[in-house]
């Protein structure tokens, strides 16, 4: 056998190798198909996930846009509603203020009632409402409307009390001016009728004060129902010749020195005008006094540290109420305060000689230059005296009934030894200051 014959590969072997190659190729192809299929499956999985995520995102965004749109629309509607309500409320408020100045008492009464909802501390119109009601008292001529305005102010709490405390001294000063003008004109008329010079002596003063007291009572405020004492000539004299002495005297003198020659008829006209002015100012004065008294009653126990300096209270019942720590400096107070708690009140330069204080507590009260009265404090009745422990009574003043002179009430030393009370006062004030 030749070498060439040896190199010849049998056909079967070739076929076998060919078959192996085909199987190998087929295997590789199958593997490639598997990889391709795997990639396609993965692609399908990613695509589904992507589609799902896209769908979810699209749905979320659509929902967010819808919710946001609804929210914006709702807010816009709410803002529009609030704006409309605010405009409506402003219109109602303006109408009520207009009605408060109406010529119809029923309209004014209704307005005074309705304004209470606009005067609450949470309302933007609170200050304006309280000021409008208080100012209306200066010109109101119907007692029923006055009473309603006062009731509304009382319902508005401390802000109304503060406004009344500001209006009261202003009203008192106007009352003093109108009183001085009226008294001066009466004296001038009296002198004309008697054809004598004008003399302002004790007799003339007593007569004119009596007339003035009568004119004031014609205003009609029911002070008798609110107080244990009425507005008498005595207290008018104390008020006009005490707290407001300079103002009253200067107004009387202004009339007497500037009126000049005048006929009785013209003088009568001036007196009528002065009487009308006096009645208006008296109404305002008494209305602010009554408002203050009722506000103090309604706020009993919650007025610690309040400053009500320079006020004038002409009648009222403040029995058993708690006014601890209130300042009444330079005030004129004529109320029934039996058994009231006035501990640590400041009555510096105040006049409380017409303030009935039997069994009242004035522990630690400041009475520097305060005009007091032993009878009003219950010292003339056994077991009725006011509690003055720690109050500096030795710095107070008492009017001598025979001379009218003001002196230190030395008789208190018998029941309240000053040395002991000074020590007690220091202790009480220290404890009070720590608790504030």
Residue with tokens 């009572």: 217
Give the pLDDT of residue 68: 74
pLDDT at 98: 94
Distances (CA, A) of 381 to 339, 353, 357, 363: 14, 16, 12, 19
Q: Which phi and psi angles does 329 have, rounded to 5°?
A: -55, 135
Count of residues in the chain: 436
Give me the pLDDT at residue 327, please. Answer: 97
pTM of structure: 0.76
H/E segment holding residue 398: strand 397-399
The pLDDT tens digits along the chain (436 residues) read 445 555 555 666 777 777 777 777 777 776 776 677 777 666 656 666 667 666 777 777 778 777 777 887 788 777 777 777 788 888 999 999 999 999 999 999 999 999 999 999 999 999 999 999 999 999 998 888 999 999 999 999 999 999 999 999 999 999 988 888 888 888 887 777 766 666 666 666 667 777 777 667 666 665 544 444 444 555 677 777 666 777 777 887 787 777 767 777 778 888 889 888 988 888 899 899 999 999 999 999 999 999 999 999 887 889 999 999 999 999 999 888 999 999 999 999 999 988 889 999 999 999 999 999 887 887 767 778 889 888 998 899 988 877 778 888 866 766 667 777 778 888 888 888 877 6
C-alpha 316/C-alpha 400 separation (Å) is 26
Please report, to the nearest 10 degrees, the dihedral formed by the alpha carbons of residues 187, 190, 192, 195 taken in order.
-120
pLDDT of 311 reads 95
The per-residue pLDDT for 197 is: 62
The helix or strand, by DSSP H or E, that contains position 27, with its residue range, turns out to be: helix 11-100
Give pLDDT, residue 8: 53
Instruction: Identify the pLDDT of residue 188.
Output: 81
């Amino acid at each position: 056998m030749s070498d060439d014959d040896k190199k010849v590969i049998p056909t079967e072997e070739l076929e076998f190798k060919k078959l192996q190659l085909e199987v190998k190729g087929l295997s590789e192809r199958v593997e490639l198909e598997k990889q391709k299929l795997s990639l396609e499956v993965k692609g399908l999985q990613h695509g589904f996930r992507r589609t799902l995520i896209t769908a979810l995102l699209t749905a979320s965004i659509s929902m967010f846009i819808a919710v946001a749109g609804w929210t914006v629309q709702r807010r816009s509607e709410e803002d529009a509603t609030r704006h409309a309500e605010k405009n409506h409320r402003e219109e109602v408020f303006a109408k009520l203020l207009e009605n408060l100045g109406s010529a119809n008492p029923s309209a004014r009464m209704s307005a005074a009632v309705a304004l209470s909802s606009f005067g609450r501390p949470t309302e933007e119109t609170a200050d304006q409402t309280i000021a409008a009601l208080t100012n209306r008292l200066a010109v109101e001529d119907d007692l029923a409307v006055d009473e309603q305005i006062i009731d509304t102010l009382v319902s508005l709490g401390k802000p109304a009390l503060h406004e009344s405390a500001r209006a009261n001294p202003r009203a008192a000063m106007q009352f003093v001016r109108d009183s001085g003008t009226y008294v001066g004109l009466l004296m001038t008329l009296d002198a004309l009728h008697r054809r004598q010079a004008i003399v302002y002596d004790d007799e003339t003063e007593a007569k004119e004060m009596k007339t003035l007291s009568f004119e004031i009572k014609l205003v009609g405020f029911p002070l008798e129902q609110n107080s244990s004492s009425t507005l008498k000539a005595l207290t008018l004299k104390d008020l006009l010749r005490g707290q407001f002495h300079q103002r009253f005297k200067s107004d009387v003198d202004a009339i007497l020195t500037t009126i000049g020659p005048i006929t009785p008829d013209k003088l009568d006209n001036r007196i009528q005008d002065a009487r009308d002015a006096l009645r208006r100012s008296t109404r305002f004065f008494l209305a602010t006094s009554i408002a203050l008294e009722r506000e103090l009653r309604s706020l009993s126990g919650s007025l610690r540290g309040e400053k009500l300096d320079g006020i004038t209270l002409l009648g009222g019942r403040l029995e058993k109420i708690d006014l601890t720590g209130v300042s009444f400096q330079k005030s004129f107070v004529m109320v029934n305060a039996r058994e009231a708690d006035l501990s640590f009140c400041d009555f510096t330069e105040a006049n409380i000689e017409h303030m009935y204080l039997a069994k009242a507590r004035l522990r630690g009260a400041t009475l520097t230059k305060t005009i007091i009265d032993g009878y009003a404090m219950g010292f003339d009745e056994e077991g009725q005296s006011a509690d003055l422990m720690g109050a500096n009574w030795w710095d107070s003043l008492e009017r001598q009934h025979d001379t009218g002179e003001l002196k230190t009430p030395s008789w208190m030393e018998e029941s309240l030894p000053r040395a002991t009370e000074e020590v007690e006062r220091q202790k009480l004030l220290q404890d009070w200051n720590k608790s504030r």
